[in-house]
A and B are shown apart, each in its own frame.
Chain A
């Protein structure tokens, strides 16, 4: 009979056959309502779980089951959580970080791949998956000469299906846009949300910075590039609606900082902001503790917190509660409210990663750019 998770937890001795059957008859990690059991099989001196959940130890040891080569670790995790992790496997004094060989779900980012943990109740939203009935938009590219950066910036542009020059479109400029395409399925999401009439057909400019940790960290050159170089170029190339409510900026992490900063430096141009897991480091007193790369960010955010004004009309903020940035994001919400901006804020049980930002796109985009869902019946 196949060994159960409960027997595993009790430490029942396991034969190799027990383990084979156990692995063959389960999906991993093992998800239950109250938590998750991580399982690794292989010869090792030590195995650790490396999971990025703020508040939990970054490194937790898996326990070897008796004399076998099976290692397990139970972690309390609330329902509807999603997180990413790796195993650190130590063999003969050498450690390697690997994705979970038993887990088929992998998320990629510019640094590589992680295993994906989906706790009880989490389901990948259907609108993030390709829909054969959804018409596909196209990608074009625009070369934008930049005096501010003394270079030509090539920008990829998403053009919606059934694009017509006679029509005028809202514009969304996305920071780290090509990463959003690659790691957060942005094109699929746009196709689906437009197909479902949840957002209007829109032009989406996908920018990519030269050095994002500099340009996105409250850099006036970048703000100027968006407002005075990129936007006019896009207005020349595409039929765009000419009102702040139809122009938006989006970004995650440092990209969120860049979005807020550009809007603050050039107010009332971009009436819609989507800020995901913004790296809004600040210090009420003394210095922030996030390292020198955050210095210009903290300088900007401190200044913004002092005199926010009302640079935009409507913002969607979101942050994972497993992120260390949750405090900074929460702190921003009342400030924005107080200064007359329409704010919608969403917290989820997720971390600082692309799939979290992908899963927030529907709530954010439909709040910022509501589609003709209610009126169109094709």
Chain B
């Protein structure tokens, strides 16, 4: 049984009239529907009303769009739910070799805190990306990577349980990949075929199958996380409590939280164990690369031309959903064949209605109170297989 809309509905977004699609873009994608999650139910219309309704109130099926958005969005684990709206979230492109984060944060007296767990052993080393910011701001690294190592050392039971969860996740990913390879191959072949009378329906069905598989995988992943949380209750463990309290205090004193890129799996795992999604609620956040990926609804791994394997984009995990309707794609220019219209089209359609947004150097996207208020050099993959300006 599907938790989202029917497969036909999921794929049918492409059939919507132009004006509806435009609204879909403006409302559901650019407005971070964090308010939808925060308030639940129909109060999720707030950003829509603010931004768009005066313009197109009578011509669109707002309710249908909102319902579809909620239905297709991955659900969150209980621990990951964030109740208050996010005040201010910024996504940046990669920060090396030309960092821009110092322009976003600027000088000031209040410290900013940093999550650099994705750098693993290099955690907290302010080279390259943060050198310039470090000159004008105090940067306090939250040391999530090392804290978890300390926690595991003092709580072997939790460590064993964590290892077991990782093994399960790995196996789930392997099984998902097995099915994904076939589903993607079929979809690619259909999209590469010449137009024919029956082809459109088959393409929609293949896309629906892909989406169903992605959803199935996310459901499985979510259950693994939920089972872990319910059984081991990390938030209540003596080994974690003092760290969580210390982190809360540091974050409270900081004017912003920076989330750097790196290993997205490590970043997710360490942030999740320490309850960071809850601690980040309502904070100003600036995230780049893997940091931005972790804040989306689902984490999509991608590389069109790896030296080994087929390069099938795959869903890894649920993200923390602080920003919705966006699939961040760091280094898309280097990792994706953006000149291959069929691959781009397949990518964009598969993750629709979310916007697939390349995060290249110099890109900036900023949401305030759930509404996209600023974008620089931002583009998106579109259904017909090209890359367009975000506002196009």
- Interface residues of A, Cβ cutoff 8 Å to B: 133, 162, 164, 166-167, 198, 362-363, 366-367, 370, 372-378
Q: Is B261 an interface residue (CB 8 A)?
A: yes
- Interface residues of B, Cβ cutoff 8 Å to A: 94, 96-97, 118, 120-122, 261-266, 289-290, 293, 301, 303, 306-308, 330-331
In the complex, the 8 A-B pairs of residues with the closest C-beta atoms, listed nearest first? A366-B307, A377-B290, A167-B121, A377-B330, A377-B289, A378-B261, A164-B121, A166-B121
Additional pairs, 8, CB under 8 Å, beyond known A376-B262, A377-B331: A198-B307, A362-B307, A363-B307, A367-B308, A372-B263, A376-B264, A378-B289, A378-B290
Q: List the B side residues contacting A378 at CB < 8 Å.
A: 94, 96, 118, 261-262, 289-290, 330
Are A377 and B96 within 8 A (Cβ)?
A: no
Q: List the A side residues contacting B122 at CB < 8 Å.
A: 162, 164
Are A377 and B264 within 8 A (Cβ)?
A: yes
CA of A133 to CA of B118, assembled, Å: 20
Q: List the B side residues contacting A374 at CB < 8 Å.
A: 301, 303, 306
Nearest residue in B to A366 (C-beta to C-beta)? B307
Nearest-Cβ distance from residue A198 to partner chain B, whole angstroms: 5
7 A-B pairs, CB-CB below 8 angstroms?
A166-B121, A167-B121, A366-B307, A372-B263, A375-B266, A377-B289, A377-B331
Given the known interface contacts A375-B301, A377-B331, A378-B96, the answer about A366 and B308 at a Cβ–Cβ threshold of 8 Å is: yes
Q: List the B side residues contacting A164 at CB < 8 Å.
A: 121-122
CA of A167 to CA of B308, assembled, Å: 25
Nearest-Cβ distance from residue B364 to partner chain A, whole angstroms: 17
CA of A133 to CA of B94, assembled, Å: 13
CA of A363 to CA of B330, assembled, Å: 25
Q: List the A side residues contacting B303 at CB < 8 Å.
A: 373-374
Nearest-Cβ distance from residue B311 to partner chain A, whole angstroms: 9
Q: List the B side residues contacting A375 at CB < 8 Å.
A: 263-266, 301
Nearest residue in A to B307 (C-beta to C-beta)? A366
CA of A376 to CA of B264, assembled, Å: 6
Q: List the B side residues contacting A167 at CB < 8 Å.
A: 120-121
Nearest residue in B to A132 (C-beta to C-beta)? B97
Are A377 and B307 within 8 A (Cβ)?
A: no
CA of A198 to CA of B264, assembled, Å: 16
- Max chain A CB contacts within 10 Å: which of B262, B265, B303, B307? B307
Q: List the A side residues contacting B121 at CB < 8 Å.
A: 164, 166-167
- Max chain B CB contacts within 10 Å: which of A167, A367, A377? A377
CA of A182 to CA of B261, assembled, Å: 35
Nearest residue in B to A168 (C-beta to C-beta)? B121
CA of A377 to CA of B92, assembled, Å: 12
Nearest residue in A to B311 (C-beta to C-beta)? A374
Nearest residue in A to B328 (C-beta to C-beta)? A377
Nearest residue in B to A193 (C-beta to C-beta)? B307
CA of A378 to CA of B291, assembled, Å: 9
Nearest-Cβ distance from residue A222 to partner chain B, whole angstroms: 31
CA of A366 to CA of B307, assembled, Å: 7
Q: List the A side residues contacting B264 at CB < 8 Å.
A: 375-377
CA of A203 to CA of B290, assembled, Å: 26
CA of A375 to CA of B96, assembled, Å: 17
Nearest-Cβ distance from residue B49 to partner chain A, whole angstroms: 35
Given the known interface contacts A164-B121, A167-B121, the answer about A377 and B308 at a Cβ–Cβ threshold of 8 Å is: no
Nearest residue in A to B289 (C-beta to C-beta)? A377
CA of A372 to CA of B261, assembled, Å: 13
CA of A162 to CA of B127, assembled, Å: 10
CA of A375 to CA of B331, assembled, Å: 13
Given the known interface contacts A133-B97, A166-B121, the answer about A376 and B306 at a Cβ–Cβ threshold of 8 Å is: no
